[in-house]
A and B are shown apart, each in its own frame.
Chain A
């Protein structure tokens, strides 16, 4: 890119920022009050934490498709790196290995706590899955867990379990009218079931984004 084009692009970027700042400052107040609506319906959602209620009940549809997007991204990544042999694991650092061994139980405990806490305070499947994935990456970096080759049957089941459980619940509820509209009495249990599946699958998918790719050479 030559100097002129570069200068023009930066100028357009600055103009965009100024225009957006002016627009934000002159924006009228919102016509609808979403926090109020959420608070109103929170009692029927089956959980006490509003963010979890939005994620898995009021807008469960979005979350279902989001897990599908994650699976799709992982599948594409697998196709890209397919046919490449993973090189041997990184050399072992005894200090890091000791730390990782000590940290692993705490990481799993923390993921379980976050999953459980999601019903009534900040936490939930996404954070728990992210913590699990971070644990797997730590193990790989310490040389305790080899990089993953092509997924076997068990790993495939683990990767898709969250999506399948979510889909099964959605399909079972279809008979009652609307998609993903839980009956208030069993909403809490269903959400916990979906979140448990999601935690495992999100952890494996996010870990897979790293472990299926790292240490490979064409």
Chain B
């Protein structure tokens, strides 16, 4: 198995882990963490799959580079929304009764 394919497979598992986390976890901060894990998995698949023959491919690398910067902006925005939600309702979760932290 080539290095690229190995990391692409790890990316797939991370993506599924993050996707399940976004749905299952109640706290908004945890949902944002899970979303980031999901994004990192997608990035690994993009680059790893393109490089499974062992040749570095600059095109997906450039796409992922922009993707990382957009991901941090999305995270900051999501955190801002979570803060505004917390300020308005006093809750860290979307539905009532699950606020454990």
Contact = CB atoms under 8 A, between A and B. Distances in A.
- Direct contact between A and B in the complex (CB less than 8 angstroms)? yes
Interface of A: 1, 6, 9-10, 12-14, 16-17, 20-21, 24-25, 27, 29-30, 34-35, 38, 50-51, 53-55, 58-59, 62-63, 66, 69-70, 73-74, 76-77, 80-81, 126, 130, 202, 205-206, 209-210, 213, 218
Contacts of A74: 73
Contact of B72 (A50, A63, A77, A209): A209
Give me the 4 closest cross-chain CB pairs, A-B, nearest first. A13-B20, A17-B16, A50-B58, A209-B76
Given A1-B24, A76-B77, A80-B80, 4 more contacts: A17-B15, A20-B16, A54-B58, A210-B76
A100 B8 CA distance: 39
A126 B69 contact: yes
Main secondary structure of the interface of B (DSSP, over half): helix
A80 B83 CA distance: 9
Nearest to A216: B83
A34 B56 CA distance: 10
Overall SS of chain A's interface: helix
Nearest to B62: A54
Interface residues of B, number: 41
Interface in B25-70: 26, 45, 49-50, 53, 55-59, 61-63, 65-66, 69-70
B15 A38 contact: no
13 contacts: A16-B16, A24-B9, A34-B57, A38-B58, A59-B62, A62-B63, A73-B77, A74-B73, A77-B77, A80-B80, A80-B83, A81-B84, A202-B69
